C-alpha cells in the first residue's frame, strides 16, 4: 500500500488510502449504468485505459479521489463516466432547477437559478469545451443536461443555456464565480465536484476562485464526492487535496512527474 509497483499489465502504479476497490479490467466491471455503457461502446472505447481501470471503481464506490496520470491517458472519461452514472443512479431526487424559478414583480422577466448537481472545473476555455463535448457524448442516452461556462466570451449566451437548467456544469473558475455572484448559479446542490488539471489551475493562479467556489457549497466536504485530477503532484496539489478531499484514495498511474 502506497508503494510504487508494476501491476499485472506492467503499468507502474501507486495506490494509497483505506479500502481502495480493485481495478476493473472492463467498463462493465466498473459498475457503470447501462445508458453510460452504451455511450462508451458507441464512442468506440473497447477497454479502459490504465488510469480508468483504477479510477472508475474508486469513483463508482463514491470515494474521494486524487488521481495523477500523464496527459493523454484518458482522465476525462475517468471522471465523466462515474459522475454521469452516479447522477443517473441518484435521478429519483430533484431536477436541474431551484424552487421553480423566481419572478420579478413588475416585469415579465423570469430569472431561473441553475442548480447543477455536478461541477467540473477546468483551467482553460479549450479544456472546458473538450470536457463538455465528452460529457455530452457519454450522457446522450441519459437525459442529463450538460452546460459549459468559460470566460473570454460574452456571458449572455452561456446564461441563456443555463436558463434551460444544468445537471452537469463544466466551468472555468473565473466565469463560474461571476455567474454565482450574479445569482444565476447556485452551488448548494453539488454532489460531485471534479477539478481537472488541478496543477494547471494552481499555476494559473485560480486558487482564490477555487476556494471561493468550494466555500459556497456550504455543506461539509464529506457530503459530496470530490475528485482531483492532475498530470503532476507538486506540494501545492497535496495541500489542495488535504483541504478539499475527505478520506480519499490517492492513485498515480504510469510515469508522472512532480
Which residues here bind ligand ADP, judged by CB under 6 A?
45, 48-49, 52, 69, 71-77
Question: Using CB atoms within 10 A of its CB, is residue 67 exposed (0-12), middle (13-18) or buried (19+)?
Answer: buried
Q: What is d(CA 218, CA 82) in angstroms, rounded to the nearest whole number? A: 23
Q: In angstroms, what is the minimal distance from the CB of 35 to ligand ADP? A: 18
User: Can you tell me the distance from the alpha carbon of 150 to that of 155, in angstroms, rounded to the nearest whole number?
Assistant: 8
Among candidate residues 154, 152, 149, 148, the one with its CA nearest the CA of residue 134:
148
**Cβ 249 to ligand ADP shortest distance, Å:** 18
The rounded radius of gyration (Å) of the Cα atoms in the chain is 18
Out of 53, 75, 117, 224, the only residue in the binding site for Mg ion (CB under 5 A) is 75
Residue 107: which of ligand ADP, Mg ion, none does it interact with, CB under 5 to 8 A by kind?
none
Minimum distance from residue 163 beta carbon to ligand ADP (Å): 29
Q: Choose from ligand ADP, Mg ion, none: what does 139 bind? Cβ within 5-8 Å by kind.
A: none
Q: How far is the CB of 202 from ligand ADP (least distance, A)?
A: 17
Closest C-alpha among 35, 120, 17 to residue 76: 120
Kindly tell me which of 75 and 117 has the beta carbon lying closer to Mg ion: 75
Q: Compute the least distance from the CB of residue 125 to Mg ion, in Å.
A: 14
Binds 209, which of ligand ADP, Mg ion, none (CB < 5 to 8 A, cut-off by type)?
Answer: none
Interaction partner, residue 67 (Mg ion, ligand ADP, none; CB < 5-8 Å by kind): none
Of 18-26, 51-59, 68-76, 175-183: span binding Mg ion (CB under 5 A): 68-76
Burial of 250 per CB tally in 10 Å (0-12, 13-18, 19+): buried
Length of the chain: 258
| Rounded-to-integer distance, Cα 20 and Cα 39, Å | 26
| Secondary structure (3-state) at 158 | helix
**Chain residues that interact with Mg ion, rule: CB under 5 A:** 75
Amino acid at each position: 500500500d502506497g508503494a510504487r509497483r508494476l501491476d499485472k499489465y506492467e503499468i507502474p502504479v501507486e495506490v494509497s488510502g483505506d479500502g481502495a476497490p480493485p481495478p476493473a479490467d472492463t467498463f462493465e466491471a466498473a459498475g457503470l449504468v447501462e445508458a453510460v455503457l452504451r455511450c462508451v461502446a458507441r464512442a468506440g472505447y473497447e477497454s479502459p485505459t490504465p488510469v480508468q481501470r483504477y479510477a472508475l471503481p474508486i469513483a463508482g464506490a463514491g470515494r474521494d479521489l486524487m488521481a495523477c496520470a500523464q496527459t493523454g491517458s484518458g482522465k476525462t472519461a475517468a471522471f465523466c463516466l462515474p459522475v454521469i452514472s452516479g447522477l443517473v443512479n441518484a435521478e429519483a431526487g430533484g431536477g436541474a432547477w431551484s424552487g421553480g424559478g423566481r419572478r420579478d414583480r413588475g416585469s415579465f422577466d423570469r430569472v431561473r437559478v441553475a442548480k447543477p448537481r455536478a461541477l467540473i472545473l477546468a483551467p482553460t476555455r479549450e479544456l472546458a469545451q473538450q470536457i463538455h463535448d465528452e460529457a455530452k457524448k457519454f450522457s446522450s442516452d441519459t437525459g442529463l443536461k450538460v452546460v459549459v461556462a468559460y470566460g473570454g466570451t460574452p456571458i449572455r449566451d452561456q446564461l441563456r443555456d443555463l436558463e434551460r437548467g444544468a445537471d452537469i456544469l463544466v466551468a472555468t473558475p473565473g466565469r463560474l464565480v461571476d455567474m454565482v455572484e450574479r445569482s444565476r448559479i447556485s452551488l448548494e446542490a453539488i454532489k460531485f465536484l471534479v477539478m481537472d488539471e488541478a496543477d494547471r489551475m494552481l499555476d494559473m493562479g485560480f486558487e482564490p476562485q477555487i476556494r471561493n467556489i468550494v466555500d459556497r457549497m456550504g455543506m461539509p466536504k464529506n457530503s459530496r464526492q470530490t475528485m482531483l485530477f492532475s498530470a503532476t503532484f507538486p506540494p501545492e496539489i497535496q495541500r489542495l487535496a488535504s483541504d478539499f478531499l475527505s478520506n480519499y484514495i490517492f492513485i498515480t498511474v504510469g510515469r508522472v512527474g512532480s
